[in-house]
Amino acid sequence: MATLVRPAARPLTSLPRSQAMTGLWSWIITVDHKRIAVLYGATAFIMFLLGGIEALIMRLQLATPNGQVVDADTFNQLFTMHGTTMIFLVIMPLSVAFFNYIVPLQIGARDVAFPRLNALSYWIFLAGGIFINLGWLIGQAPDAGWFGYANLTEKPYAMGLNTDFWLLGLQILGIASILGSLNFFVTIVNLRAPGMRMMRMPVFCWMTMVTNILMLLAFPVITVALVLLMFDRQFGTHFYIPSGGGDPQLWVHLFWVFGHPEVYILILPAMGIVSQVLPTFSRKPLFGTPFVIYSGIAIAFLSFGVWAHHMFAQGLGPTADAAFAFSTMAIAVPTGVKIFNWIGTMYRGQLHFTTAMLFSVGFIAMFIIGGLSGVMHASPPADLQQNNTYFIVAHFHYVLFGGAIMGLFSGIYYWYPKTIGRLMNEKLGKWHFWLMMLGFNLTFFPMHWIGLDGMPRRVYTYPEGMGWDSYNMAETIGAFVIAVSILIFMYNAVWSMRHGAVAGNDPWDARTLEWSIPSPPPHYNFEEIPVVTAMDDWWHKKYGDTGHEAAHGAPAAPPAMAGASVDHDVHTEHAGHGGGGHHIHMPDPSYFPIILAFGMFVMALGVITNYWICLVGFCFVFAAIYGWSFEPVSAPEPPSGSAESHPVHETPRTPVAAH
Amino acid sequence: MAVEAAPNPVVAAEHTSTGLNHRKVLMWTFLGSECMFFASLISNFQVQRGRSLNGPYPDDVINIPFTSISTFSLLMSSLMMVLALAAIQRNDVRGLKIWLLACAFLGTLFLGGQFFEFTQFVAEKGLKLSTNLFGASFFVLTGFHGTHVTIGVIWLISLYFAAARGRITVKDSLSVELAGLYWHFVDIVWVAIFTIVYLLKV
Amino acid sequence: MAATHIQHEEHHPSARGYVKVATVLFVITIFEVAVYYIEPLRVLDLLAPILLVLSALKFCGIGGWYMHLKMDHKLFFVFFAAGVVLAATLIIALMALFGELLEPGKPIISMNTELQRIAASAKPQAEEPATPAGGLQPYINPKDIGNVELGREFWIMKGCTGCHMAPNIPGGGQIGPNQGHFSQRPTIAGGVLPNTPEAVENWIMDPQKYKPGTLMPNLSVTEQQAKDLTAFLYSLP
């Protein structure tokens, strides 16, 4: 048994360290991965509503030719912020919310490897999200597109603060992403339960790991691109300015070297979710699990080799065009492998069409459509017609909304019972799904036609007589149908918190470890860290190793396992000290993360106002780093004779040999 | 089994899936990510070669002998760093302090050389950030590298003071090792920059 | 076990071993600087490969011995190598895409170079009958102003079509005026300047000077280019 002796020296920071577990303050200083996940999810959802409103206003403007709802300037801000918000402030943080909540539970860990770093990632994300939206307050929201092509973003073309809000906000968000990725990567590498070799790890965790590796390697590139732009704007350099010898093409390359891996960052987590949901509701293991995993790795690897397919209309020349066309078509192959494996999972399964399942199946269907139009863009000659038209808009909304967002909703319906302890209402869920499918397809399918017919992107209006009027009107109606479906979802989410059916540990009779613990999980997750013997370990613990009887439903024998608490049926309303967990000591909360994030926010403000303010912000950052490095993971306790302490990393288990 | 009481939970944290310490895995992963950061800056430098519309050009300002001394300084500081780590792994705190200080000193010498070089470029040669593409690319690349070195020096000095207060013993050698990994990485980046920017200046 | 973990970790080099490594790195650096001064190597284009190899050796020395990659768990090597390999690939790919790989320092996509190349290879203008103007402005033969063909090339290369439409030029934007019948306009720049070749040239070279705040940017046009552009404009039907 391990004992922990606290450091004899007094910690440098003599400010009191709060141990609050309830109340607003506890949320601000929390380092619990489950709470941080909720923070990410809630913030991302609010941003989803914001981005959605931006979309609705655009759709109102475009519903009729020569629309008068907003002027061109405002429209530019709307489409820029809609794209930036949905990508960086919605899909990514929603994915991170799932990483945060589910990965430690699925690998049998008590928390992530660096809980305070986890909190820091959230607060920096919030700082970035607020900062990038500050422009709205002065009517100067970013307006150069979510991809900010130089030299439209340079002075004298972009004299206002719009682009500054954008590039500073994105730099802050980039830091949050990198810090988060470091954390999840180390967590997955190092905190798996005993016996959980890599190939026994749930596919969602695999996709998480791959996504985080992509983030670690791609975000530094956009950071540099943004830094160079910032220097152009603030310090008179000419990196992207032709009259100074620079080249706008450099921005385009650097942006898309980041941008393409970024779109895989957006889709892989949703693919991971679908890979968990489908087997559960088909009562069959995922078909060809190793192939799904290897395909995910292949997609990530190839994603760094296709970026210039966003540049087919830039005049790269035939050699470059051909090379990137080839690699782009190649990357469709592992994607296709995954799709066939998902379909194979459902084939001859005992299908239960819960809302989560509907969204996963919807994901497959919509992603196929989006993927097909994507492969059409892969041909440079074809892309020359499609580029910059609504055909492209159709493509990416099918993969990002029909794909990523629907996959994420699938995850919400699937894991809501685990986090809240109650099931969401299925009837409302189905209304949500079908209305969303209807609205989504009504909005985005006609875009294929008008795109090929020549309607350009990013235009604030279009003339009469182009033949686009009725399609645009239909698309606007579809957008509002989507909005209604989301209102239904929101009502469902709130209603179910009080009135949903009590979930119990394992309402879906699912396959992975998170379903072996109470809903919601106690503060420490697992009373005893499980020992893993197979992929889909929870299923094996319930039903033993006989292969296909799982498809027939009823458990063959009462579950015999170490560590699962199915029999206890503990409904803990509060995290923490219920059941037998009182000997488990989790890391204590800290206020340094939010101070650090605040400092970064102030620094960014300083860049656009006064550099002295930068210095003030830096002081906060520096002080926070210093205080943090001297703050122990857990606050000092009086050493007690009999009680034993188990810090989060010292779990009583035999060390695992490297896989 | 009995695990020795450890004031630093990091030592006991080798009960991980890989048997490797969390913070060490974190540092190596971070360094892998930083490779991409510097790669982007170096790519920019390479792409902007020869495109300056006006001078001063690299030939006019680069002083190989002077920069060689800075390079040697940084290179030798890495030796100091590794000796510092070896010292604390033998529980030789005095040795740790000496070598840490030596490393920080040589690092500061390097920074001094950079600072002198930069001021010379700006004041005497008329090469500023906004002068031409060479100035812009040069200062951004070497500037970010210098910032990384500065952070390293602050880290080393903090470790020195912690050691001086008796807070670092053999059981905390990981803290020194992590600082060392960062420091050596910064040295490696300079190896690349010295070759690409200075020795291959034309 | 944990306490002995550090010692049993791997076979550390001794202090002597580290000094040996340092000496090797030191010597390699001296080589690098020496090689830099050897002219024949530069002429034979061998400087870059030699220096890159030497740097790679130093890289391996620091990474392998100082950072202990050689002696540590191979996972660390994998994490770091992934970053290094991708980094090198990015640098090489971008250099190739910008034409820096085969002929470093000689950009082939730079617009200024392209414009110079066009000017250098300009063919003498064919003698065509001048188009009579038939309007308010006195007739000026465009060829007396500059090279119309070159002007047309510059018009496209400089991106004027981004804002302006012109007869017989495909595409064109609608931010600035359509340049058809250019020679017939009494004034240019929205009434600020008279329509004379000289005024047009000055306007093209520095629009902000004559109309501060105008949307027309300064495109770094040389005087000869401005003349050719003006000739082109005056030739438009």
Residues of B in contact with A244 (CB under 8 A): 53, 132-133
Among chain B residues, CA nearest to C15:
B83
Q: What's the pLDDT at A649?
A: 43
Query: Rounded to 10 degrees, what is the CA torsion of A80, A83, A86, A92?
Result: -110
Sorted by sequence, the CB contacts under 8 Å of residue A494 that are 6+ apart come out as none
C-alpha R_g of chain A: 25
What is the per-residue pLDDT for A655? 35
Which chain C residue's Cα is nearest to B181?
Answer: C67
Q: Render pLDDT for A88-113 as a digit per residue (tens, 0 to 9).
A: 999 999 999 999 999 999 999 999 99
What pLDDT score does A651 carry?
37
In the A/C pair of chains, how many CB contacts fall below 8 A? 33
Tens digit of pLDDT for each residue in A316-351? 888 899 999 999 999 999 999 999 999 999 999 999
For residue A454, the number of C-alpha atoms closer than 13 Å in the C-beta half-sphere is: 5
- The answer to whether C73 contacts B11, with C-beta atoms less than 8 Å apart, is no
Residue range A413-431: mean pLDDT, rounded: 97
* C2/B25 Cβ within 8 A: no
d(CA A55, CA A75): 10
d(CA C187, CA C193): 6
What is the pLDDT averaged over residues A137-164? 92
A478 vs B2, which has greater pLDDT? A478
Mean pLDDT of A426-430: 97
Confidence grade of residue A549 (pLDDT, cut at 50, 70, 90)? very low
Interatomic CA distance for residues B199 and B65, integer angstroms: 11
Question: Does residue B17 sit within a domain?
Answer: no
Are C177 and C188 spatial neighbours (Cβ–Cβ below 8 Å)? Answer: no
| Alpha carbon distance C216, B37 (integer Å) | 36
Cβ–Cβ gap B18/A186 under 8 Å: no
Q: Which residues of chain C have a Cβ shorter than 8 Å from any chain A Cβ?
A: 73, 75, 82-83, 86, 89-90, 94, 97-98, 109-112, 217-220
pLDDT at C159: 77
What one-character-per-residue DSSP string does A109-141 give? -SS-S-HHHHHHHHHHHHHHHHHHHGGGGGT--
B26–A647 CB contact, under 8 Å: no
Q: State mean pLDDT over A614-630.
A: 93
* List of residues 6+ apart from A94 with CB closer than 8 A: A40, A41, A44, A45, A48, A408
Task: Answer whether A651 sits within 8 Å of B129, measured CB to CB.
Answer: no
Chain A residues 1-30 with a CB less than 8 Å from chain B? 2-9
Residue range A417-442: mean pLDDT, rounded: 97
pLDDT for A310 beyond 90:
yes
Q: Do B191 and C58 touch (CB under 8 A)?
A: yes
Residues of A (399-418) whose Cβ lies below 8 Å from B: none
**A301 pLDDT above the threshold of 90:** yes
pLDDT of residue B202: 65
Q: Which of A370, A218, A196, A211 is nearest to A275 (CA)?
A: A211
Distance CA(A629)–CA(A635), nearest Å, equals: 13
Q: Average pLDDT of chain A?
A: 89
pTM metric for this prediction: 0.82
Mean pLDDT of B27-55: 93
Q: Given this model, what pLDDT does residue C13 score?
A: 77
The C-alpha of B56 sits at a distance from chain A's nearest C-alpha, in angstroms, of 14
A581 to A525, A578, A653: CA distances (angstroms): 9, 6, 16
pLDDT value at residue A359: 98
The confidence band for A555, taking pLDDT boundaries of 50, 70 and 90, is very low
Q: Which residues make Cβ contacts (< 8 Å) with residue B104, sequence separation at least 6?
A: B77, B153, B156, B157, B160
Which subunits sit against A, judged by 3+ Cβ pairs under 8 A? B, C
Q: Over 70: is that where the pLDDT of A80 sits?
A: yes
Instruction: Please report residues of A whose CB lies closer than 8 A to that of B39.
Output: 220-221
Q: What's the mean pLDDT when you consider all of chain B?
A: 90
**Dihedral-angle region of residue C19 (phi above 0 means left; psi in -120 to 50 means alpha; beta otherwise):** alpha
Most confident of A182-191, A544-553, C208-217: A182-191
pLDDT the model gives residue A572: 33
- Which range has the worst mean pLDDT, A26-40, A301-315, A462-476, C208-222? C208-222
Considering only CB atoms, which chain A residues are within 8 Å of B48?
Answer: 239, 245-246, 250
pLDDT digits (tens, 9 = 90+) for B173-201: 999 999 999 999 999 999 999 999 999 87
Assess whether pLDDT exceeds 60 at residue A551: no
Q: Which of B31, B83, B200 sits opposite C15 (nearest CB)?
A: B83
Rounded CA separation A121/A138 (Å): 27
Percent of chain A whose pLDDT exceeds 90? 81
Q: Each residue of C154-171: pLDDT tens digit?
A: 887 777 877 888 887 776
- In chain B, residues with a C-beta closer than 8 Å to the C-beta of C98 are 47
Could you give the angle at the alpha carbon of B150 between the alpha carbons of B148 and B151, nearest 5°? 65
CATH topology of domain A23-590: Cytochrome C Oxidase; Chain A (1.20.210)
Contacts of A320 in chain C (CB under 8 A): 97
B29 domain residue, yes or no: no
Distances (CA, A) of A282 to A277, A367, A368, B53: 9, 20, 20, 65
In chain C the beta strands, taken as DSSP E runs, fall at: 187-188, 193-194
Q: State what percent of residues in chain A have pLDDT above 70.
A: 87
**Which CATH number applies to C111-234?**
2.60.40.420
- Can you tell me the mean pLDDT for A152-168? 92
pLDDT of residue C224: 86
Do residue A224 and residue B44 have CB atoms under 8 angstroms apart? Answer: yes
Of A325, A329, A528, A495, which Cα lies nearest the Cα of A422? A495
What is the chain B residue with the closest CA to A214?
B33
Token match 């250019």: residue? C182
Q: Which of B21, B6, B18, B1 is nearest to B170 (CA)?
A: B6
> How far apart, in whole angstroms, are the C-alpha atoms of residue C52 and residue A476?
58
C45 in helix, strand or coil?
Answer: coil
Which residue ranges make up each domain of chain A?
A: 23-590
pLDDT value for A155: 86
Q: pLDDT of B55-112, one tens digit each?
A: 788 988 999 999 999 999 999 999 999 999 999 999 999 999 999 999 999 999 999 9
Asked if residues A530 and A562 have their Cβ atoms less than 8 Å apart, the reply is yes
In C11-136, which ranges are E strands? none
Helix (H, G, I), strand (E, B) or coil at C182: helix
In B, which residues are within 8 Å of C62 by CB distance?
78, 184, 187-188, 191
Q: What angle do CA A564, A565, A569 make, to 5 degrees?
A: 155
Can you tell me whether residue C194 is helix, strand or coil? strand
**Domain span holding position B153:** 65-202
Q: What is the pLDDT of residue A88?
A: 98
Output DSSP code: residue A243: G
pLDDT score for A15: 56
Q: Say which residues have a Cβ less than 8 Å from residue C229's Cβ, sequence separation at least 6.
A: C146, C151, C154, C155, C158, C160, C201, C204, C221
Chain A residue numbers with beta carbons less than 8 Å from the beta carbon of C89 are 304
Q: Would you tell me the crossing angle of helices A72-84 and A162-190 to the nearest 10 degrees?
A: 10
For chain B, give the percent of residues with pLDDT over 70: 93
- At residue A577, does pLDDT exceed 80? no
User: Given a cut of 50, is residue A659 above it in pLDDT?
Assistant: no
The dihedral through the CA atoms of C111, C113, C116, C121 has a sign that is negative
Domain residues of chain C, as ranges? Answer: 2-72, 111-234
Q: Which of A170, A213, A227, A276 is nearest to A513 (CA)?
A: A276
Chain C nearest-CA distance from A235, in A, is 19
Task: Answer for the pair B89, C12: CB distance below 8 angstroms, yes or no.
Answer: yes
Please compute the mean of the pLDDT values over residues A623-642 and round it to a whole number.
Answer: 74
pLDDT greater than 80 at residue B116: yes
Query: What is the secondary structure of A303-328 as a DSSP string?
Result: HTT-GGGG-GGG---HHHHHHHHHHH
> What's the mean pLDDT in A255-265?
97
Domain-located, residue B4 = no
pLDDT tens-digit profile of A210-224? 999 999 999 999 999
Angle of helix A355-377 relative to helix A406-420, nearest 10 degrees, comes to 150
Counting runs of H as helices and runs of E as strands, what totals does chain C give? 10, 2
| Number of domains, chain B | 1
Crossing angle (nearest 10°) for helices B22-47 and A248-282? 140
Give A10 or A101, the one with higher predicted confidence.
A101
With respect to residue B76, please indicate whether it lies within any of the assigned structural domains: yes
C97:A221 CB<8 A: no
Q: How confident is the model at residue C137 (pLDDT cuts 50, 70, 90)?
A: low
Helix spans in B48-132 (H)? 58-61, 64-89, 93-119
CB contact under 8 A, A245 and C75: no
Give the residue among C236, C224, C237 at the shortest CA–CA distance from C145: C224
ipTM reported for the complex, 2 dp: 0.91
What are the angstrom distances between the C-alpha of A438 and each of A402, A433, A443, B41?
A: 11, 9, 9, 47
Measured in angstroms, the CA of A454 and the nearest CA of chain B are apart by 35
Q: For position A654, what pLDDT does the model report?
A: 35
Which CATH number belongs to the domain containing residue B180 in this structure?
A: 1.20.120.80
Q: What local confidence, expressed as pLDDT, does residue C103 receive?
A: 63
